[in-house]
Structure 1
Amino acid sequence: MASDGVMLLQGEEVNELLMGQEAAILDAVKRAYQIHACHQTDMPPDGFLRFPGKERERIIAKVAYLGGDFDVAGIKWVSSFPGNLELGLERASAALILNSTETGRPMAMMESSIISARRTGAGAALAARHLCPQERVTSLALVGCGLINFETLRFLLSVYPMIETVHLYDLSAERAQQFCRKARQLAPEVHCEVQATFEAALKTSPIVAMATTAVTPHIDSLTGHQDHAVVLHTSLRDFSPQLIRQGDNVVDDIDKVCSNQTSVHLAAEQAGNHDFIRTTIGDILNGDAPELDETKPFVIYSPFGLGILDIAVAHVTYQLAKEQQVGMSFESFLPKSWLER
């Protein structure tokens, strides 16, 4: 009979378990994308909880089943409150529940902002690796100097070990300098340079990672970009619909990214279709994607952020916790049968 025990993992435990596990996380994210492209997943529409008078604040419920050799389900409940930064708090917080697909019962509950950030960074780096030849990349440009781009940097350094320079731009020069100091801890041999404008940062590198808190498009041009630059549009709402349609577009899930007023959604509404999207990252990884459109001046990768990635990385975390006997186990979390109460 299946155990009723539930594992509880706190944030610092999750952090310790995933430290140095970049290869395992990249592999889990890759397999999740591939499984999704083979239609062995289920992800109902995300639930967006919003609040009167607060345009940027939201809490999102991401429910997912990940099949294949994972065969696990769960839900991530993640909040984004950008105003927290002014209070000295993290912008995002999250909790995640993993469920058995044999009994439906919860197996684990864990802090998930770390998982969320690392799966996001890993997904962006994985896409970059398959969209931009390794020999081209000795520098990166990061626009937005928060946790998401820090984790993106972590995984880009893993897939592009020849990186020498990281160029940074943020509306807050203080945050950019703070990011520099943190990046030196991550990779002391990599040189960080803070750029004064977005345009200056754009010119520096073949890979540009966007991770801002923008809620509406504010960029109409990528003038000055390097030839066939790859733009990791993780924040989803930076670019105007016209700019999106100028690029060679790759996404993680066409239906999901064409929703919730993302830049790609606005472009699809403008065009009346989503034919401007060439393919998905899952099809690229499975070898089923059309070739790169060489007529387009740049590639834009717009990942909606799939719940299956959280489930994949949470499953890795759960397995590591069991192996290392980390976390607190509640053997009697569930009640007795109603017949025994």
Structure 2
Amino acid sequence: MTSFSVVPGAAVSQILGASPKDILRVVTDTYIAHEHGRSVNPDSYFLRFPEKPDARVIALPAYLGGEVDTIGIKWIASFPDNVRQGLPRASATLLLNDYATGYPIACLEAAGISAARTAASAAVAAAALVGDARLRVAVIGAGVIARTILSYLHANGLAISDVLVHDLDATSADHLAGHAEGLGLSARTGTLQHALAADLVVFATTAATPYVPGDTPLRPGQVLLNVSLRDLAPELLLGANNIVDDVEHCLKALTSPHLTEQLTGNRDFVTGTLGGLLLGRFTLDPAKPTVFSPFGLGILDLAVGHHVLQQARAQGSAVEIPDFIGETTRW
């Protein structure tokens, strides 16, 4: 218990890339464990800067029981101005602690883990909501998260007929369309209006306030993955089945579900959680579209990070630091 493991980004990327189906399984199991109450997932904590209002660093502490039985915290920075310099918007680390003693056991580069758990969450929800239907998919926002979501939708076996990409930056849209074609999918760029008509619409933007109007026509059975959380006017949610990852977490921070709660004064519009859906605890109204709004739970980072750590140790790609703990006895 005196040693400490460090898993660098290259090793994390290799493990994630080699086993997307394992990540999908881990994320599915984690949602079910959370639904059964085998987790502790407190509020995220936001560090903001007066001179950089668009930037933030978020701490997501969590504990997950069962086979994972580990404590962890993700520390993730979001600096949108990075994009102008050709850098990814987000960077992250994940610290894991032993549940028996509380001692730190590992630190992992976690930007890829964060993207993978977000994408796997979207793909698990999509598969549960659309079944084996052949889909026209649209992705609104063409960054790292969007790219990873497309990869995980493909890895989860969704029957995708074609992909339409919309982004305010034409170059980013072209890159994501090229990525989709690299997955063997037919892809093109298009307008927001055309994107909103797809069977499965993925929102992966940095929008701070809704820009999709409340009177936007949606179809019965249409599925919207509200991953970026603030794109949709609350009136849209009132006409939809609404699935969240966790009610308390999602209805805050001026997300679209939070704005809907403020508009109505209640939470009656929430149909249920993804864990409940996976367990068959409720049914959806087939006459309505469905919106999945995942706030992003720290337990997902923890579970995926635990999996990556086990694989890295087995492969020898974890860097071990012996005697990391300075004092091992009280006296």
TM-score of the pair, normalised by structure 2: 0.96
Instruction: Give a deviation string over 1:147-204, Cα, whole Å, max 9, x none.
Output: 111111111112235323111000111111122233333x1x2111101x1111122x
Q: Which residue of 1 aligns with 2:277?
A: 284
CA drift of 1:294 comes to: 2.6
| Alpha-carbon distance change, 36 to 161 in structure 1, aligned in 2, over 3 angstroms | closer
The correspondence of residues 167-182 of structure 1 with structure 2, limited to 5 A, is 167-182=164-179
* Equivalent AA in structure 2 for residue 255 of structure 1: E
Superposed displacement of residue 300, structure 1: 0.4
User: Could you say which residue in structure 1 is the equivalent of 2:56?
Assistant: 58
Within-5 A mapping of 1:251-290: 251-288=244-281, 290=282
State the partner residue of 1:198.
192
- Could you say which residue in structure 1 is the equivalent of 2:221? 228
CA distance in 2, matches of 1:310, 1:32: 10
SS at match of 1:165: strand
Alignment partners' CA distance in 1, 2:135 and 2:253: 35
Secondary structure of the 2:160 match is coil
The letter of the residue matching 1:190 is L
In structure 1, what is the Cα distance between the partners aligned to 2:131 and 2:219? 14
Q: 2:297 aligns with which of 281, 292, 306?
A: 306
Counterpart CA distance in 2 for 1:200 and 1:54 is: 34
Q: C-alpha displacement at 1:83, in angstroms?
A: 1.0
Equivalence for 1:323: 314
Q: Show the 5 A alignment for 1:77-226.
A: 77-134=75-132, 136-185=133-182, 187=183, 189-195=184-190, 197-203=191-197, 205-221=198-214, 223-226=216-219
Structure 1 unaligned regions, length at least 5: none
For 2:14 and 2:157, the matched residues in 1 are separated by 24
CA distance, structure 2, for counterparts of residue 216 and residue 295 of structure 1: 28
> Identity, % of aligned pairs?
37
CA distance, structure 2, for counterparts of residue 245 and residue 125 of structure 1: 24
Distance 2:23 2:259 in 1: 32
In structure 2, what is the equivalent of residue 5 of structure 1?
Answer: 3
SS at match of 1:19: helix
CA distance in 2, matches of 1:84, 1:210: 20
Distance 1:222 1:11 in 2: 44
For residues 79-122 of structure 1, what are the alpha-carbon distances to aligned partners after superposition, in whole Å with 9 as ceiling and x for unaligned?
Answer: 11111100111100000011110111111101000000000000
Contact 2:16 2:116 in 1 (8 A): no
Higher mean Cα deviation, 11-20 or 50-59? 50-59
Q: Between Structure 1 and Structure 2, how many residues are aligned?
A: 331
Does the CA contact (< 8 Å) of 1:206 and 1:227 recur in 2?
A: no
